Amino acid sequence: MSFDLTKMDCHRISTLIVDDEPVARRLLREELENFEEIDVVGEASNGREALQQITALKPELVFLDLQMPVMSGFEVVRGLGGANLPVVVIVTAFDQHAIQAFEAGAVDYLLKPVGEDRLLKAVARAKALLHRPIDIANRVATIASVGTPEHPARSRKVVGRTGEDYILLDADEVLAFQAERELVWIITARRRLLATQTLRAIEGRLDGTEFQRVHRNAIVNVNHVRKLTALSSQRWYLTLSNSLQLVVSKRQAHKIRQILQW
């Protein structure tokens, strides 16, 4: 049986299958080959190979098993970075992990054995997301922040924009977030990127991490603070590891001193 999701669009979606079970990969490939819009460009048998294939092949869509030796599916997503991020569909035999990943941001999840109707819906959802890079990046960033008892999340992901590309960064790479009127900049050691969220939204997402609001216009990574200088009773400067100086409010300076145990 062949499914043509839309006869008006001849674009074929480059697709990677990631599963440590050869039989599972073969069955999924056979099902996907029934879709005229899907082009299976490769397979990966473990997480490390998946990251290599994603870098080399730049697939638009990845069917990703969560339970794999060496590197889990969640770890694969946390290993993604840069631009050209794929749409992720979770494939797993464990319902609790599938629901967790789906609620986090996966475009869909499939339980093994994969049914024909569910696969059709998953492909349709993936296709609808293809030309929305900001949504893809935010979904990947959210999945990457999910941890399991076996593989806890060590660092959250942050989405930044440069030109037409949306870049996935480890939160550890970020020195600060700085607002300039309606824009919010992500500051790393080497570059500045536009954030995709407001400063308030970023603060909420990074709550409980090493990030601290120091001013109404700035959030900093306290691990990159190198100096806190009092210029007056009301004015402080904070110096980051890249020598950038930011104004700190008096109230927030007190919090920073406590965090840094100064």
Which secondary-structure segment (H or E) carries 202?
A: helix 199-205
> Do 133 and 29 share a structural domain?
yes
101 and 26: one domain?
Answer: yes
Percent share of the chain, pLDDT over 70: 84
Residues 65 and 187 in one domain: no
Task: Judge if 113 and 225 occupy the same domain.
Answer: no
Write the CATH number for 113.
3.40.50.2300
CATH number at residue 166: 2.40.50.1020
Per-residue pLDDT of 15-60, as tens digits, reads 999 999 999 999 999 999 999 999 999 999 999 999 999 999 999 9
Say whether both 182 and 204 belong to one domain: yes
Residue 7 placed within a domain: no
Task: Give the total number of structural domains in the chain.
Answer: 2
Instruction: Please indicate, yes or no, whether residues 105 and 222 belong to a single structural domain of this protein.
Output: no
Assign residue 180 a region (left: φ > 0; alpha: ψ between -120 and 50; beta: otherwise): beta
Strands 236-240 and 225-230: antiparallel
Looking at 144, 177, 194, the residue that finishes a domain is: 144
Does residue 152 lie in a domain region?
A: no
Q: Is residue 5 part of a domain?
A: no
17 and 138 share a domain?
Answer: yes
- Clarify whether residues 53 and 77 are in a common domain: yes
DSSP reduced 3-state for 51: helix
| Residue 64 bridge partners (DSSP) | 18, 90
Residue 3: inside a domain: no
> Do residue 50 and residue 83 come from a single domain?
yes
Domain assignment present for residue 8? The answer is no
The answer for residues whose C-beta is within 8 angstroms of residue 100's C-beta and 6 or more apart is 146, 148
pLDDT digits (tens, 9 = 90+) for 74-93: 889 888 877 789 999 988 88
Asked whether residue 253 is domain-assigned, the answer is yes
Please give the model's pTM, rounded to 2 decimal places: 0.72
Of the pLDDT bands very low, low, confident and very high (cuts 50, 70, 90), residue 6 is: very low
> What stretch of H or E contains 213?
strand 211-215
CA distance 32 to 15: 9
User: Is residue 46 located within the same domain as residue 132?
Assistant: yes
Six token digits for residue 261: 């145990």
Helix (H) or strand (E) holding 32: helix 22-32
Matching residue, tokens 């992901």 = 157
Distances (CA, A) of 33 to 51, 125, 195: 23, 17, 38
Asked if the peptide bond before residue 152 counts as cis, ω within 30 degrees of 0, the response is: no
Per-residue pLDDT tens digits for 129-174: 988 888 888 888 877 776 554 555 556 788 898 888 888 888 889 9
- Say if residue 47 is in the same domain as residue 97: yes
- Please indicate, yes or no, if residue 6 is contained in any of the structural domains: no
The answer to whether residue 137 is domain-embedded is yes
Same domain, 86 and 201: no
Percent of the chain with pLDDT over 90: 39
Q: Residue 61 sits in which domain range? A: 13-144
**pLDDT band at residue 7 under the 50/70/90 scheme:** very low
